[in-house]
Structure 1
Amino acid sequence: MKKIIFLLAITLIFTACKDATKDNGKLNIVTTTTMLTDLVQNIGSDMVNTQGLMGSGVDPHLYKASEGDVSKLVNADIIFYSGLHLEGKLVEVLEKMESSNKTTIALADALDKNTLIGSEYFASNYDPHVWFDINYFEQFAKKVAAVLSEKDPKNAEKYEANKNAYILKLEALQNNIKQTIATLPVEKRILVTAHDAFNYFGKAYGFEVVGLQGISTATEAGVQDVQKLATFIIEKQIKAIFIESSVPKRTIEALQASVNSKGHDVKIGGTLYSDALGNAGTLEGTYIGMFEYNVNTIVNALK
């Protein structure tokens, strides 16, 4: 990390006297997570150049900037990141960008902290997985549109129109998933996953959420954690537990083996997308598609 910070500092010194590189006069936007990349692409469309640092299956809790990321960050006009210490290993780098007068936006700063879920696992003291409440993601969309409009006023009306159209899609998503969840009996709405990425989802849609590794994947699940959760699964007669695409599946497989060894049949209900979207070009590679896929997978497995 020290090497990356040094490279960043040197590069910023040499580029301090000139504007960030633009292609065809478009704003250069850098995003951290795949959710934010998809969001900016929906609002900015072909009016901006968008580059994401992280790809499908990448864990933002553990992601470290590479040397190749340095030029992307230095040449960015705007950097959007989630915040709330989600990108824990990138904090130093992002702070360096802010101190160099780069437009660096933590989108979670737009949220009312009084409504967030507290967490002792993060320096922010909040659970950072806020995109699993669609209402919060709508606020992200509004903030992105406002920042793009401020930096590129000639396209402000288009950004505003794109934002309004996208929010209508998010509202339709909200209605669709509520209808799907309504088909699952309340007593079966217990979601067991690799780590606690789904607390905002649980709060919004009435699920009890239990993660084996806690909120941050930087923490390791021990034998006692597995045994304790296995007992909980048996007591609640839970039919299925879930792997996450950005977390190694071995912990959930160990949990399944522990439960099955005690005489209760629990299945792995599928793989959920938590801290990253699916592959680009697929339905799950979009925020809306990811959300629909997750809800369908959860409800079908727990019925």
Structure 2
Amino acid sequence: MLINRRDVMGLAAGAAVWAGGGAGAQEARLTVVATTGMIADAARVVGGDLVEVRALMGPGIDPHSYRQTRSDIAALTRADLVLWHGLYLEAQMEDFMHKLGARSPVVAVGEAVPESELIDHEDYEGRFDPHVWMVPELWLSVVDRIADALSAARPEGAEGFVARADAYKAQLGRLETYARGVLASVPAPARVLVTAHDAFSYFGRAYDFEVEGIQGISTESEAGLARIGELVEMLVARGIGAVFVESTVSDRNVRALIEGAAARGHVVQVGGELFSDAMGVPGTYEGTYLGMIDHNVTTIARALGGVAPERGMDARLAAGS
């Protein structure tokens, strides 16, 4: 359940105005540990100068199989606030997070998305597909949950957290508009997204794409020869000319698809590398949530015959990305 913002603002009423800047402000920063880069990025934007955020998982890290290290445990137990995704994304960390949450502020921000908007997990009964960040419109709920969690932990900063969250959500709305526009330009017969694992179901539902992952929702599931053979048949029969690799998943199975299609006389190319479970390199545009989604949307649209600017929404994507 989301924390009521009116209650949070009431707690903040009468509190001293945050000074910001200087050594005192540095010492008083709220220490936040987030599991994924997407959550950490939102926490930094919403938290501003009042927070110091550490992400446990960087570029190329698969959250489905990630296990906390000793240094992670130390950081998590010392943090003022822990933000994790939930929805069984960090499957190997779930028990630890629940135990930590019994004595420290630990918030599963992905679970802010209304259950009516979630897609059932194909491998685990009673669970849901965790990849809600693939659609900016769904990520709005996560941003609100992060703002509420920060406000509860630091009531005197609540007004600023809410204001920054609202400004950030306006950016997400603009990104959503861009995504819908360029993806709609892909010809209907070409709207087939074949990727290394099934991380794009929310994307497919939102933008009217058929999505085929070689592996299941979790990268822990193995792709069998039968599945690869089935997808090769589809690529050949439907004349699909592009498939996509992912930054957090081995490209071995995708290469097997390409080779299988070639053996049947059908040429399939890699349409590009997509960011599925992690963002790009820190310090780059692609290392932000906005850049991650801009890159994915632009790459998919251009590879499948749609019309999109080479460098994305605001010409910020790396050339040739």
Pair in the same fold by TM > 0.5? yes
| Equivalent of 2:27 in 24, 27, 37 | 24
Q: Give yes or no for the alignment of 1:191 onto 2:197.
A: no
Q: Is the 8 A contact 1:85 1:122 kept in 2?
A: no
Q: Match of 2:73, as an amino acid? A: V
Q: Is the 8 A contact 2:135 2:176 kept in 1?
A: no
Q: What is the rounded CA distance, in whole Å, between the counterparts of 1:197 and 1:94 in structure 2?
A: 23
**1:73, CA displacement in angstroms?**
0.5
| Equivalent of 2:210 in 187, 208, 215 | 208
Q: Deviations over 1:243-270 (max 9, x none)?
A: 0000011111111101111111110111
* Alpha-carbon spacing, 1:168–1:106, altered in 2? closer, same or farther (3 Å): same
**1:163, CA displacement in angstroms?**
0.4
**1:179, CA displacement in angstroms?**
1.5
| Equivalent of 2:265 in 248, 263, 266 | 263
Q: Give yes or no for the alignment of 1:56 onto 2:54.
A: no
* Alpha-carbon spacing, 1:293–1:273, altered in 2? closer, same or farther (3 Å): same
Q: What is the rounded CA distance, in whole Å, between the counterparts of 1:235 and 1:88 in structure 2?
A: 37
Residue 319 of structure 2 is matched in structure 1 by: none
Residue 132 of structure 1 is matched in structure 2 by: 134
Residue 171 of structure 1 is matched in structure 2 by: 173
The count of corresponding residues between Structure 1 and Structure 2 is 281
Q: Is the 8 A contact 1:42 1:162 kept in 2?
A: yes
SS in structure 1 opposite 2:33? strand
SS in structure 1 opposite 2:28? coil
Q: Is the 8 A contact 1:84 1:122 kept in 2?
A: no
Long gaps (5+) in structure 2? 1-24, 306-321
| Equivalent of 1:73 in 73, 76, 87 | 76
Q: Deviations over 1:152-177 (max 9, x none)?
A: 11111111111011001001101111
Residue 312 of structure 2 is matched in structure 1 by: none
Residue 89 of structure 1 is matched in structure 2 by: 92
**1:32, CA displacement in angstroms?**
0.3
Q: What is the rounded CA distance, in whole Å, between the counterparts of 1:122 and 1:217 in structure 2?
A: 13
Q: What is the rounded CA distance, in whole Å, between the counterparts of 1:23 and 1:104 in structure 2?
A: 23
| Equivalent of 1:283 in 285, 297, 306 | 285
Q: Is the 8 A contact 1:33 1:55 kept in 2?
A: yes
Residue 5 of structure 1 is matched in structure 2 by: none
| Equivalent of 2:299 in 297, 300, 303 | 297
**1:123, CA displacement in angstroms?**
6.2
Q: Is the 8 A contact 1:234 1:259 kept in 2?
A: yes
SS in structure 2 opposite 1:54? coil
Residue 7 of structure 1 is matched in structure 2 by: none
Q: Match of 2:238, as an amino acid? A: K
**1:77, CA displacement in angstroms?**
1.2
Q: Match of 1:177, as an amino acid? A: A
**1:122, CA displacement in angstroms?**
3.7
Identity among equivalent pairs (%): 39
**1:115, CA displacement in angstroms?**
2.1
Residue 241 of structure 1 is matched in structure 2 by: 243
Long gaps (5+) in structure 1? 1-21
* Alpha-carbon spacing, 1:28–1:124, altered in 2? closer, same or farther (3 Å): farther
Q: What is the rounded CA distance, in whole Å, between the counterparts of 1:151 and 1:249 in structure 2?
A: 42
Residue 252 of structure 1 is matched in structure 2 by: 254
Q: Is the 8 A contact 2:39 2:85 kept in 1?
A: yes
SS in structure 1 opposite 2:52? strand
Q: Match of 1:296, as an amino acid? A: T
* Alpha-carbon spacing, 1:243–1:256, altered in 2? closer, same or farther (3 Å): same
| Equivalent of 1:160 in 162, 177, 180 | 162
Residue 311 of structure 2 is matched in structure 1 by: none
Residue 4 of structure 2 is matched in structure 1 by: none
Moved more, 69-78 or 121-130: 121-130
**1:200, CA displacement in angstroms?**
0.3
Q: Deviations over 1:22-58 (max 9, x none)?
A: 9611111110011101110110122111011100110
Residue 223 of structure 1 is matched in structure 2 by: 225
CA-based RMSD: 1.3
**1:107, CA displacement in angstroms?**
1.2
Moved more, 209-218 or 89-98: 89-98
Q: Deviations over 1:106-133 (max 9, x none)?
A: 1122222122111132465211101112
